[in-house]
Amino acid sequence: MKQNAAFGSLFKNIMIVMEVLLCVTALLLLVFRHSVAGFETEATKETQITEEAEEPAVESAEEYLQEDEPLAGSDTEADTEADIEAETETDAVTETETETDTDIRTSQETLQEQSMEEQEELLRMKKAEEMKADWRLFLTNKNHYIPTDYEPELVAFTGRHRVDERITEDLQEMIDAAKEDGVRLQIVSAYRDFNRQKRLYEKKVRAYKRKGMTFEEASMEAAKTVAAPGTSEHQLGLALDIVGSSHSALTESFADTKAGIWLASHSYEYGFILRYPKGKEEITGIIFEPWHFRYVGKDYAKEITEQGLTLEEYLKENGVN
Ligand SMILES: [Zn+2]
């Protein structure tokens, strides 16, 4: 019994010691855990501080981005992106405004230039239309036939000749002016109707055929000196063959006579042009005829003569024909 009691007392003491050890262990665990938790908090704080310290570097990068072109898909914060976009838009607006100002000025200048050009073109077209409709500039040559129903209002002039009545005043003025200068002008031919022109032309063709030419060759050669019927200015009543009292033949040498020189120098002052000048045979299709004068009116005659043009060239330059 005594041994059992001793054993029981020992067992009880061991149990107490064990309990105490457990308690101490538990306490140590608690303390350790607390220490670990505290360490972790410090570590987190330190990480946060490090991150905070790095922020300015990110901002600097963003500022760099703002100054430079924004990169597509950059990892900047939403706010910063918005700022960049806003600033970029502002820049874009400013640029657009500047461009718009330039555009407006440029377009205004362009409009003015276009308007000037259009106005000039309109004036040219208007002048061309007026010239086209002007009886004084009626063009006839081997390419421009006179309509068969063309009938000028004719009046007798110096007896047997007839001319378009609208030219008589200027014609008379020219004859009088020449007379004052000691030159007696003589009209050889004025208005000729279609049939008269046809007879003259056919007579010329026969003459060339007698020289051995074919009909085609003779016709072409005749047309250089006698306009084919339907293409003669005499048929308009606006053309005159004029010579001087000392030289009545229709030859090139008439150009060197007193009357020939006077007409070449002064006819335009009265509205008449030397219609088939020397050196322009290819354009007019007619040989040099220093005796053939065509009425176009004083203004046109002055321009055509001063510019050294044929009627064909003058009309072409002004957009007619
Ligand atoms: Zn003639």
3-state secondary structure labels for all residues of 104-159: HHHHHHHHHHHHHHHHHHHHHHHHHHHHHHCHHHCCCECCECCCCCCCCCEEEECC
Whether the pLDDT of residue 180 is over 90: the answer is yes
- How many angstroms is it from 191 CA to the middle of ligand 1? 9
* pLDDT bracket for residue 44 (50, 70, 90): very low
Out of 4-18, 80-94, 287-301, pick the least confident.
80-94
CA of 139 to the centre of ligand 1 (A): 14
Query: Which residues are CB-contacts of 289 (< 8 A; sequence separation ≥ 6)?
Result: 241, 250, 275, 276
Active site residue 282: no
Q: How far apart are CA 273 and CA 263, in angstroms?
A: 9
- Indicate if the pLDDT at residue 49 is higher than 70: no
pLDDT of residue 159: 80
CA distance 290 to 288: 6
Go through 137-171 and write b for each residue having 16 or more CB atoms within 10 A of its CB, e for each that does not. Answer: bbbbbeeeebeeeeebeeeebeeebbbbebbeebb
pLDDT above 90 covers a percentage of the chain that reads 58
Task: Find the mean pLDDT for residues 54-69.
Answer: 43
> For residues 248 and 17, what is the distance between their CA atoms, to the nearest angstrom?
169
Ligand 1 centroid from CA 142, angstroms? 14
| Helix/strand/coil percent split, the chain, to 5 | 65, 10, 25
* DSSP structure string for 242-258: EEETTB-S-SGGGGGSH
DSSP 172-196: HHHHHHHHHTT--EEEEE----HHH
Q: Which residues make Cβ contacts (< 8 Å) with residue 85, sequence separation at least 6?
A: 70
Q: Which pLDDT tens digit goes with each residue over 239-264? A: 999 999 888 889 999 999 999 999 99
Contact (CB, 8 A) for 291 and 244:
no
Give me the pLDDT at residue 70, please.
Answer: 40
pLDDT > 70 fraction of the chain, expressed in percent and rounded? 69
Distance 298 CA to ligand 1 centre (A): 20
CA of 290 to the centre of ligand 1 (A): 9
Residues with CB under 5 A from ligand 1 (ion): 241, 292
Start-to-end CA span in the chain (Å): 157
| pLDDT reported for residue 19 | 72
The domain limits of the chain are 1-40, 135-192+232-317
Confidence of residue 108 (pLDDT cuts 50, 70, 90): confident
Give the H/E segment covering residue 239.
Answer: strand 239-244
Residue 151 scores a pLDDT above 70: yes
CATH architecture of 135-192+232-317: 2-Layer Sandwich (3.30)
CA angle 52-56-61, nearest 5°?
Answer: 135
pLDDT value of residue 54: 43
The rounded distance, in Å, linking the Cα atoms of 158 and 184 is 13
Element (H, E) at 161: strand 161-164
CA–centroid distance, residue 80 to ligand 1 (Å):
93
Instruction: Indicate the pLDDT class of residue 15, thresholds 50, 70 and 90.
Output: low
What token pair was written down for 251? 């030859």
CA angle at residue 300 from 296 to 303, to 5 degrees? 140
- What distance in angstroms lies between residue 180's CA and the mean position of ligand 1's atoms? 25
Res 174 pLDDT > 50: yes
Taking the centre of ligand 1 as the mean of its atom positions, its distance from the CA of residue 54, in whole angstroms, is: 106
Cα gap 258→184, rounded to integer Å = 9
Residues 6 or more apart from 108 whose CB is under 8 A from it? none
- pLDDT tens readout for residues 265-303: 999 999 999 999 999 999 999 999 999 999 999 999 999
Residues 132-140, mean pLDDT to the nearest whole number: 95
- Residue 298 has what pLDDT? 98
Distance (angstroms) between ligand 1 centre and the Cα of 321 equals 22
Average model confidence (pLDDT) for the chain? 80
State the catalytic residue, choosing from 62, 233, 289, 312. 289
- pLDDT tops 70 at residue 28: no
